[in-house]
Structure 1
Amino acid sequence: MAVYPIALDASVFGWANDAKTTADVLDLFYAAGGDLISTAAHYAGGRSEVMIGSWLSRHEHRDRLVIATKVGRHPDALGLSARSLRRGVTDSLERLQLDRIDVLGLDGEDPSTPIEETLTAAAELQAQGRIGHLSASGFSAAGLREAVKVARRLEVPGVQLLLAEYNLLERRHYEEEVAPIALAADLGVLARIPLANGYLRGDFRSRHDRPASPMFQGALQYVNRRGSAVLGVLDEIGAEVGQHVGRVALAWLLTKPMVVAPVVRVPSARALADLLPGAALQLTPSQVERLDRVSEP
């Protein structure tokens, strides 16, 4: 998937970000060349999709954008049954004011529904032109392997993209369990929470630093010896390349095989502007190795 190296996480739209802040972030993202906007049907009860849809309706160049949303957790369309999938897609299309979702995400496994039913329904929606690619988020390694195997058996497109939590402080699960499957099945990966809830931006260096929104509360778990060591090396490399530590953390992710783009969530357009140069930052092999070593699980 050829997209701008940084994607936009819309989970804060309609919750931490009001309508004006959301529009400002989207305007800046688009102006910078960004294209992939990632949301979900249940974010802020659907308000995230509504805000994106309102912004899209005023935008003349919709075709340059890649709109990704996830279904399966909205109360009106819970789970991944064929019925829920069809209802979820219909409702998301209405909120987004679109006739096609570029990337439809399966938002977590549904033990009550055979994956065969989910993938068959998704293939039908693809054939109808209502969705493009299929992604998976929150799947276990076993569930993901089964989805890949079943798609091959059914001869349907299946999952082509993963949303997986991956950053300098959360490496073990992705690298040991998810990455081997992605590599074997040639799946693209969008790295979720790439800045560890803001910790890797350098926003939280002590327990006295408090997030402006509860959405970034998780950063405080990294205020410890390991987190400080990682920030220390980010500070050193940031000084060497003349870049903010958050940009260095994003550039590290972009050196990893299968990673299409980190998906950043930001509280403001200003915070987004601070991160976007990370898309073009090239780290040396030595700098990557230093970050690998200090962040080793």
Structure 2
Amino acid sequence: MQYNNLGKAGIKVSEISFGSWLTFGNQLDTEGVKSCLRTAYENGVNFFDNAEAYANGLSESLMGMALKEYRREDLVISTKIFWGGKGPNDRGVSRKHLLEGTWNSLKRLQVDYVDLIFCHRPDPTTPIEETVFAMDYIIRNGLALYWGTSEWSAEQLEEAYLVADKRNLIPPTMEQPQYNMLVRTKVEKEFKPLYEKYGLGLTTWSPLASGVLTGKYNDGIPQDSRLAKFKNLREEFEKGGVLSQENIEKVRKLTKIANDLGATMAQLALAWILKNPNVSTVITGASRPEQVKENVKASQIKEKLTDSVMEEIEKILNNKPQ
């Protein structure tokens, strides 16, 4: 396992990380969570990603119980704040919800601090200056060590950096965008000026496009698949064109490259992301220990992605942002 600095920050995260979205509390019970986390940890994973919204908080509670058997210093734990409940002040990234959401997350995770904390989405009802002040308070008071954003635009991030510089506040360290072979623009084009200018780190999510890039949807949607179980996710993918016949055909062609490399399609998709030097870590999900082991092996496949192989992949994808 390779460990990368999170952007320009000193903290190091495993290039393959483990996230709880959609699985903890939905597909996995306590023993299932412990088994998957143990397998990830034993295979070199040190970064475990969560959010207050996942399974309405149950995901954090399950992770908190599972991680108590490990030395805290060996773990990088994150949470994300935005959707905390139904009340008018239970969502967004206002000072009130950021503080209350953080305190509640720490209780569920059974830790004194998280290593990384994210503003889970931009909040049009809260001034970015208020959010930056609140995150600065959270860091300076030891509730978290680094803060960042998820699915913010480059323009919003730029404003956050300018506010931090002007007010002498702690700026964001990382962003958590969706990034995979089918979704590339934000990471490869929009954020490009921010990597060198601010040392922005990336913890990317949905590397397999919820299974599309594993090939499991090549012949329709299996009844036991994620897109069959989560109707909203399926509708989002269909609306966004991720499940288009064109993309399915691309996956079929890419599978041949994976086979030639002695890899699964999932491993190829993960390894392709790892080749991007601006990606600090790829967040993976799994409902079985076997899936965790398969995902971790992508680190080895990365070395097989020569320039000629990457060019061959690029020809098939034909979606490089201009």
| TM value normalised by structure 2 | 0.86
Aligned to 1:51: 62
Aligned to 1:27: 38
CA contact (8 A) 2:254 2:316 kept: no
CA contact (8 A) 1:82 1:121 kept: yes
Within the candidate set 175, 180, 196, 2:188 is matched to: 175
CA–CA separation in structure 2 for the residues paired with 1:144 and 1:232: 37
CA–CA separation in structure 2 for the residues paired with 1:228 and 1:286: 23
CA–CA separation in structure 1 for the residues paired with 2:27 and 2:153: 29
Deviation, 1:219, is 6.4
Deviation, 1:224, is 3.6
- 95-104 vs 9-18, which moves further: 9-18
Aligned to 1:67: 77
1:7 maps onto 2:17 in alignment:
yes
Q: Amino acid of the residue matched to residue 60 of structure 1?
A: Y
- 161-170 vs 180-189, which moves further: 180-189
* Secondary structure of residue in 1 paired with 2:191: helix
CA–CA separation in structure 2 for the residues paired with 1:130 and 1:172: 33
1:142 maps onto 2:134 in alignment:
no
Between the aligned residues of both structures, percent identity stands at 27
CA contact (8 A) 1:190 1:259 kept: yes
- 228-237 vs 34-43, which moves further: 228-237
Change in Cα spacing, 1:287 to 1:210, as seen in structure 2 (3 Å) is farther
Residues 110-162 of structure 1 show CA distances to partners (whole Å, capped at 9, x for unaligned) of 12221111111211221121111111012123222211222222222221111
* Secondary structure of residue in 2 paired with 1:165: coil
Within the candidate set 256, 267, 288, 2:310 is matched to: 288
CA–CA separation in structure 1 for the residues paired with 2:195 and 2:55: 30
Q: Which runs of 5+ in 2 are unaligned?
A: 1-5, 7-11
* Secondary structure of residue in 2 paired with 1:104: strand
Deviation, 1:208, is 4.9
Residues 25-51 of structure 1 show CA distances to partners (whole Å, capped at 9, x for unaligned) of 111111111011111011111000000
CA contact (8 A) 1:226 1:295 kept: no
Aligned length: 296
CA contact (8 A) 2:30 2:66 kept: no
CA–CA separation in structure 1 for the residues paired with 2:250 and 2:192: 22
Q: Amino acid of the residue matched to residue 58 of structure 2?
A: R
Aligned to 2:266: 246
The residue correspondences of 1:109-120 to structure 2 (distance < 5 A) are 109-120=122-133
Deviation, 1:249, is 0.8
CA–CA separation in structure 1 for the residues paired with 2:311 and 2:49: 30
CA–CA separation in structure 1 for the residues paired with 2:170 and 2:310: 35
Q: Amino acid of the residue matched to residue 10 of structure 1?
A: S
Aligned to 1:231: 251
Q: Amino acid of the residue matched to residue 292 of structure 1?
A: E
Q: Amino acid of the residue matched to residue 47 of structure 2?
A: L
Q: Amino acid of the residue matched to residue 209 of structure 1?
A: P
- 210-219 vs 176-185, which moves further: 210-219
CA–CA separation in structure 1 for the residues paired with 2:237 and 2:27: 16
Within the candidate set 265, 276, 282, 2:296 is matched to: 276
- 167-176 vs 208-217, which moves further: 208-217
Q: Amino acid of the residue matched to residue 105 of structure 1?
A: F
Residues 172-231 of structure 1 show CA distances to partners (whole Å, capped at 9, x for unaligned) of 343232333344321111121000111111221112534433247466754444323432
Residues 52-98 of structure 1 show CA distances to partners (whole Å, capped at 9, x for unaligned) of 111122x1322111001001211163221212111111111100000
Q: Amino acid of the residue matched to residue 73 of structure 1?
A: W
Deviation, 1:232, is 3.2
Aligned to 1:107: 120
CA–CA separation in structure 2 for the residues paired with 1:100 and 1:46: 17
Q: Which runs of 5+ in 1 are unaligned?
A: none
Aligned to 1:80: 93
CA–CA separation in structure 1 for the residues paired with 2:220 and 2:113: 45
Deviation, 1:10, is 0.7
CA contact (8 A) 1:207 1:223 kept: no
Residues 240-288 of structure 1 show CA distances to partners (whole Å, capped at 9, x for unaligned) of 2211111111111011131012111222222222211002321111111
